[in-house]
């Protein structure tokens, strides 16, 4: 009877999750894979005739550049959020808990606002007639407005700002659970603060670093509204290209093929990252 009760309880908890994953993840993904091998109709519909032309089209150097630019932006965004987020999460975990929670709330609260509104806020700040240029001219630092908007730099600012909480929260959780006795032990054995930080703190919080990097990298590859708004027509990333295929060109099969390739590349890179970083952590620990 006890075993039956255990099986029932497991079924109650796992079946809803399995159904949710099946309906909202597996079936849509299989449909995207399916239509990626179909043809575009004359009127923009889908012609259910098998073809691999959608994947062959990606041999065009233009699409290689779009994929390369997207991965570079995603890598730089991940690196910047890690560089800025780790010290922030580290010191937030050091201060008294009631204040650290307040700091995290301050980070999270702006993200209750619509992403487009926050992005338009950055546009107001960075545009030629914006607040930053106006302040720099009034203070005499510059004589002519700087062109900050509609560039890769502006896109990076928007991406880092948007992805920052996704890096900080896993790091804060990982650092908060760190057993301080290991750090004290390293110091007792003669390690400096920097040595203890690099050989003990970072390896023991690597799970948070990996989680944060994955949570930042995956959305950064596919985000399209930030490059659209802050990059203008000069910046074309894979997310924008896929969006254009589905909504403007009405070429759903090609858009689906681009999506599948993007997913595969992201999974390969993440797998390599986990494998390399995991081996490095094992070597440092042992």
- What are the pLDDT digits (tens) for 115-140? 888 888 898 888 888 889 888 888 88
CATH of the domain at 177: 1.10.3720.10
* Domain extent at residue 258: 58-285
Q: What share of the chain is helix, strand, coil (3-state, %, to 5)?
A: 80, 0, 20
End-to-end Cα spacing for the chain: 45
pTM of the model: 0.86
**Residue 117 covered by a domain:** yes
**Residue 33 covered by a domain:** no
**Residue 189 covered by a domain:** yes
Residue-wise pLDDT tens digits, 234-269: 788 999 999 999 988 889 999 999 999 999 998 898
**Residue 27 covered by a domain:** no
Residues 6 or more apart from 171 whose CB is under 8 A from it? 85, 86, 89, 90, 205, 208, 209, 212
Residue-wise pLDDT tens digits, 39-70: 998 888 899 999 999 999 999 999 999 999 99
Q: How far apart are CA 250 and CA 233, in angstroms?
A: 19
**Residue 240 covered by a domain:** yes
* Among candidate residues 75, 61, 104, the one with its CA nearest the CA of residue 218: 75
Structural domains counted in the chain: 1
**Residue 99 covered by a domain:** yes
**Residue 51 covered by a domain:** no
* Among candidate residues 214, 213, 218, 228, the one with its CA nearest the CA of residue 264: 218
Give the pLDDT score at 255: 94
**Residue 262 covered by a domain:** yes
């Amino acid at each position: 009877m006890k075993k039956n009760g255990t099986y029932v309880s497991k079924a109650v908890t796992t079946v809803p999750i399995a159904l949710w994953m099946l309906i909202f993840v597996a079936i849509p993904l299989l449909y995207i894979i399916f239509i990626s091998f179909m043809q575009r109709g004359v009127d923009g519909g889908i012609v259910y005739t098998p073809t691999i032309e959608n994947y062959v089209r990606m041999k065009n150097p233009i699409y290689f550049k779009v994929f390369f630019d997207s991965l570079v932006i995603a890598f730089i965004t991940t690196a910047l959020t890690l560089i800025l987020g780790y010290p922030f999460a580290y010191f937030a975990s050091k201060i008294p808990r009631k204040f650290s929670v307040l700091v995290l709330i301050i980070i999270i609260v702006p993200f209750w606002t619509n992403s487009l509104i926050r992005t338009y806020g950055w546009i107001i700040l960075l545009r030629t007639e914006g607040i930053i240029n106006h302040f720099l001219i009034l203070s005499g630092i510059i004589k002519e407005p700087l062109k900050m908007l509609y560039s890769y730099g502006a896109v990076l600012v928007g991406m880092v700002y948007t992805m920052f909480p996704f890096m900080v929260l896993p790091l804060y959780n990982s650092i908060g659970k760190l057993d301080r006795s290991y750090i004290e032990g390293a110091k007792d054995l003669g390690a400096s603060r920097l040595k203890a930080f690099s050989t003990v703190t970072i390896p023991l919080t690597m799970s948070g670093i990996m989680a944060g990097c994955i949570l930042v990298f995956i959305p950064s590859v596919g985000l399209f509204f930030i490059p659209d708004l802050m990059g203008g027509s000069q910046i074309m990333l894979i997310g924008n290209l896929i969006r254009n295929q589905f909504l403007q060109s009405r070429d759903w099969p090609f858009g689906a093929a681009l999506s599948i390739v993007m997913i595969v590349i992201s999974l390969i890179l993440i797998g390599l990252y986990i494998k390399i970083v995991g081996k490095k952590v094992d070597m440092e620990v042992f």
